[in-house]
Amino acid sequence: MITSYQIGSTRRAAHFERQAALVSMTHRSVFVTGATGYMGRSLIPALLARGHSVRALARESSAHRVFPGAETVVGNALAPATFAGAIAPADTLVHLIGTPHPSPAKAASFQAVDLPSVDAALTAALTAGVQHFVYVSVAQPAPVMRAYIAVRQAGEARIRSSGIAATILRPWYVLGPGHRWPYFLVPCYAIFELLPPTREWARRLGLVTLQQMVRAMVASIERGPEGVRMIDVPGIRAAGYSANVMERRAS
């Protein structure tokens, strides 16, 4: 039986294929972990639309949700041996594994899933000869979500020590489907950004949209490996597919 999800996905895939025909750029081969998650479901069609090839890691139970046009790789994101051999010829790995809807109550999951998945992805990427590792971290410092931030900081440290070229994006909260409740804070953020005492933290911990995150990731992927780049909230907001990404060198 053909589901409404499959019909909608097929129509979207056809639309993105038509768009891709109009785009000329350096081709990237991208391996995506967390392919069926919140960001992966939006990133993959954007990459395909711009003519890139995508391999998508998914559990067997969710493989049917991988966006049409991407090559599905069934594996365990915590076990690099289950997918390292399927990464090549990808030159870029985008790591999107993480505990959904993170909160202080999920500290154990951060330690059991988020951090080990970084180790697994790095091991697999280095084994496969990946040139560019893209990681979604979190804005910091911040007065809340300390356990989550600590795990993401540890992930960043592992990436730096690995020696792989990387782009690390640091959003605070990504607005999109199922993640809309902070919209009522937007006017407050606008005021805080105007006031000198609160301007810095309001920009660092500002809200970004899912579309902005996707554009920032695609721009980073297309730009390619250049040491270790850090992209904060203002940089994510400013990113465009063909524009330079605002960044600061990771220290």
What average pLDDT does this structure show over 208-231? 97
pLDDT > 60? residue 59:
yes
pLDDT > 90? residue 9:
no
Q: What percent of the chain is predicted at pLDDT more than 70?
A: 86
Under 8 Å between Cβ of 233 and 205:
yes
Q: What is the pLDDT of residues 166-202, one digit of tens each?
A: 999 999 999 999 887 787 888 888 899 999 999 999 9
Confidence of residue 241 (pLDDT cuts 50, 70, 90): low
Q: What is the pLDDT of residues 207-218, one digit of tens each?
A: 999 999 999 999
Residue 246 has a pLDDT of 40
pTM: 0.85
Please give the order of strands across the beta sheet that includes 29-33.
71-74, 53-58, 29-33, 92-95, 132-136, 165-169, 228-231, 248-249
DSSP letter for each residue of 108-156? HHIIIIIHHHHHHHHHHHHHHT-SEEEEE----S-SS-HHHHHHHHHHH
How far is the C-alpha of 116 from the C-alpha of 217, rounded, in Å?
A: 22
Q: In this structure, are strands 165-169 and 29-33 parallel, antiparallel, or unpaired?
A: unpaired
What average pLDDT does this structure show over 52-81? 98
Q: Domain boundaries in the chain?
A: 4-173+212-249
Question: What is the CATH code for 4-173+212-249?
Answer: 3.40.50.720
Tokens 């129509």 -> residue = 11
pLDDT > 50? residue 91:
yes
pLDDT > 80? residue 75:
yes
Q: What is the pLDDT of residues 117-166, one digit of tens each?
A: 999 999 999 999 999 999 999 999 999 999 999 999 999 999 999 999 99
